[in-house]
Amino acid sequence: MKKPKSVKTTFVQYTIGGIRGEGGSGVVYEACDDEGNEFAVKALDPAKLLTCGIDPYDKL
């Protein structure tokens, strides 16, 4: 899965930094908003979700 440069939500845009970790359903990246606050952003990998028995298109 290709690393995103940024992630934009309705209210905030996050700049993506390095990888914090990787699990069964995706990769966790370091992220920073425009005000300098640090966050962790998980990018879900649809291929990994399917192997875990999770439907990525199912509304929770």
Residues 4-47: pLDDT tens digits? 688 788 888 889 999 999 887 888 999 999 899 999 988 887 77
- Residue 42 makes CB contacts below 8 A (sequence gap 6+) with 25, 26, 27, 28, 29
- Whether pTM > 0.95 for this model: the answer is no
pLDDT in tens, 1-13: 566 688 788 888 8
CATH T-level fold of 6-51:
Phosphorylase Kinase; domain 1 (3.30.200)
Task: Go through the chain and tell me how many residues it has.
Answer: 60
C-alpha distances in Å from residue 30, one per residue of 12, 18, 39, 44 = 15, 5, 6, 14
Domain ranges of the chain: 6-51
Residue type, 28: V
